[in-house]
Amino acid sequence: MTAATVTKFPEKSPYQPDTAEGILRAYDAFVADIDDQPKWLLDLRKSSLKEFKRRGIPTPRIEGWKFTNLLPLVKTYGDKVGQIKVSHDKVDDVVITPLMQMLDQDWVKAALSEDMPPLQHNTENTLWHLGNIYMRDGIVIDVPANKEISKPLELLTSAADGAFFTDRMVIRVQKNARLTIVEDHWSKGAFWKNRLTHIVLEPGARLTHIRMQDDSDKSVYTQTTNVHVGRDAVYDAVAYCAGAALSRNQIRVTLDDTGAECHLNGANLLRGEQLGDTTILVEHRAPHCQSYQNIRTVLDGRAHGVFQGKVHVHQPAQKTDGYQLSRALLLSEGAEMDTKPELEIYADDVKCSHGATTGQLDQEPLFYMQSRGIDQKAAKALLIQAFIAEVFDKVQDEGLKTSLERKVEAWLKL
C-alpha cells in the first residue's frame, strides 16, 4: 500500500446536507400560508427542519439506501408544494376528517409527534422529517370500538404534474373494530409524492390495508408507514406496486402486545427503467406475536427491484413466530434484484425463518404448456400470475381480490 491510497468513502458522515436546499426552497412561502397552527406543530416542523438540513435527501452512501438512488430523480423539485387530493365515499360509523381539523385531538397529536426510528442500520428517516416539515394535507380515519365495517373504504389519491406533494394519513382502529382500506394511486405526469402513514390498532382490532400503486412511470413515489399493533390485533397489508419511475415503500410494524399479528404481502411488477424498493422493519416487542412478510417481484427490461427486510425480536418477545420471504423473477437479462433479509433476535424461544430467492421462469412448465397449444406469451403470463397469486390469497373480499388479479393481468398484456 502506498500513501496515495484513498478510501472511497472517508470516515465522515454519509449524509449530504447540501441536497436539502432544493426541496426546501418552498418552505417560507408554505409556512406563511398556513393559518392558526398550534405551537407544537410549528415546533415539530422546526425540529424536523433542523434534522433534515443536517442530512438532506438520502443517497446511496447511506446504508439503508445503497441500492436506491433517489436524488437524481427528485433534485429538481422544491419550487412549490402541490396540494394532494384524496377522494373517498362516506362510510357509516367511520370518522374521516381532514388532518388540519383534527389537531386538537390528543391521540392525533401523539401520533403526529411520534418519531420514526431508522428502518435500517445508520439510516435516519429523512423522508419522515420532510413530511413533517410540509405537514398540511392528509386525513384522519377513526373507527369506533366494536364497529365491524364490511364495506371497504376506498381512497383515491391524486397528484398533478410538476410538483412535490406530501401528505399524512393518521388511522386508528379502536378496540375490536374492523376496517378495510384500499389506497388507489394512478396519477399522470411527473411528480414526487411522499406519503406518511401512522396506524394505531387497539386490542382486538383488525385492519386490512390494500395499496395499489400505478402512478405514471415519470413520477416518484415514496411512502413511509408506521404501524402499532396492540394486543390480539391484526394488521393485514397487501401492496401492489407497478407504477412510478422510482418507488420506495418503507414499512415499520411494531407488535406491541401479546398476540399481535401482521401480514405484509407485496407484489411488485416492474419494467423499463423502473425501480421498486420495499424496506421493512418488523419489531416483535411482546411474547406470542406473529409476523409474515411475503414479497414477490417480477422484473422485465432493465427494471431494478430492492427488498430490505428485517425482523427484530426484542428480549421479551418469547414464542415469536416470524416469517420472511422475498422471491424475485427476472424476465430479462438487464433486470436486477437486490435483497437484504435480516433477522436480529434477542429472545431465546422463537421460531423465525427467512429467505430470498431470485430466478427465472422455469423452462419445463413453459414447454409443457406450449405443447398443449398455449402460446409462449400466454404461457409466461400464466406462470407469472401463479407466481404472484400467493400474495393475494389472504384477501377475503372477493371483489378486491379480483381487482388485484385483474391489475396483474392488465400489466401482463402491456
Partner 1 sequence: MLQIKNLHASIDGKEILKGLTLDIPDGQVHAIMGPNGSGKSTLSYVIAGREGYEVTGGQILLDGKDIMEMAPEERAAAGLFLAFQYPVEIPGVAMTMFLKTAINGIRKQRGEAEIDALDFLKLMKKKQAELGMSDEMMKRAVNVGFSGGEKKRNEVLQMAMLEPRMAVLDETDSGLDIDALKVVADGVNKLRSDKRSFLVITHYQRLLDYIKPDVVHVMAAGKIVKTGGPELAHELEKTGYAEYVGDAA
Q: Which residues contact partner 1 (rule: CB under 8 A)?
A: 363-365, 367-376, 378-379, 382-383, 385-387, 389-390
The minimum distance between CB 387 and partner 1, in angstroms, equals 7
Burial-class residue 23 by CB neighbours within 10 Å (0-12, 13-18, 19+).
buried
The minimum distance between CB 413 and partner 1, in angstroms, equals 14
The minimum distance between CB 368 and partner 1, in angstroms, equals 4
Phi, psi of 102, rounded to the nearest 5 degrees:
-115, 10
Q: How many CB atoms lie within 10 A of CB 188?
A: 13
| Residue among 12 and 372 whose Cβ is closer to partner 1 | 372
| Residue among 87 and 370 whose Cβ is closer to partner 1 | 370
The minimum distance between CB 364 and partner 1, in angstroms, equals 5
| Residue among 235 and 240 whose Cβ is closer to partner 1 | 240
| Residue among 192 and 387 whose Cβ is closer to partner 1 | 387
- Please give the grid coordinates belonging to residue 28: 417560507
The minimum distance between CB 362 and partner 1, in angstroms, equals 8
Q: In what order do the strands lie in the sheet with 178-185?
A: 85-88, 153-158, 178-185, 206-213, 234-241, 261-270, 290-299, 320-330, 350-359
The minimum distance between CB 239 and partner 1, in angstroms, equals 19
| Residue among 229 and 384 whose Cβ is closer to partner 1 | 384
Q: Are 243 and 212 in contact (CB under 8 A)?
A: no
The minimum distance between CB 386 and partner 1, in angstroms, equals 3
DSSP 17: G
> What does 202-230 look like in DSSP terms, one character per residue?
-TT-EEEEEEEE---TT-EEEEEEEEEE-
The minimum distance between CB 382 and partner 1, in angstroms, equals 5
| Residue among 390 and 397 whose Cβ is closer to partner 1 | 390
The minimum distance between CB 371 and partner 1, in angstroms, equals 5
Query: Helices 39-55 and 126-133, interaxial angle, to 10°?
Result: 140
Tell which residue, 389, 158, 154, has the closest CA to residue 294. 389
The minimum distance between CB 336 and partner 1, in angstroms, equals 25
Q: Is 378 helix (H, G, I), strand (E, B) or coil?
A: helix
| Residue among 29 and 386 whose Cβ is closer to partner 1 | 386
| Residue among 110 and 378 whose Cβ is closer to partner 1 | 378
Query: How far is 64 from 249, CA to CA, in rounded Å?
Result: 12
Query: Helices 376-389 and 363-370, interaxial angle, to 10°?
Result: 130
Q: Is 137 helix (H, G, I), strand (E, B) or coil?
A: strand
> Which helix (H) or strand (E) covers residue 407, if one does?
helix 398-413
| Residue among 279 and 358 whose Cβ is closer to partner 1 | 358
For 276-296, letters b (16+ CB in 10 Å) and e give bbbbbbbbbbbbbbbbbbbbb
| Residue among 346 and 367 whose Cβ is closer to partner 1 | 367
- Please give the grid coordinates belonging to residue 158: 391524486
| Residue among 346 and 368 whose Cβ is closer to partner 1 | 368
The minimum distance between CB 211 and partner 1, in angstroms, equals 22
Q: Are 145 and 172 in contact (CB under 8 A)?
A: no
Question: CA Rg, the chain, in Å?
Answer: 21
Burial-class residue 96 by CB neighbours within 10 Å (0-12, 13-18, 19+).
middle
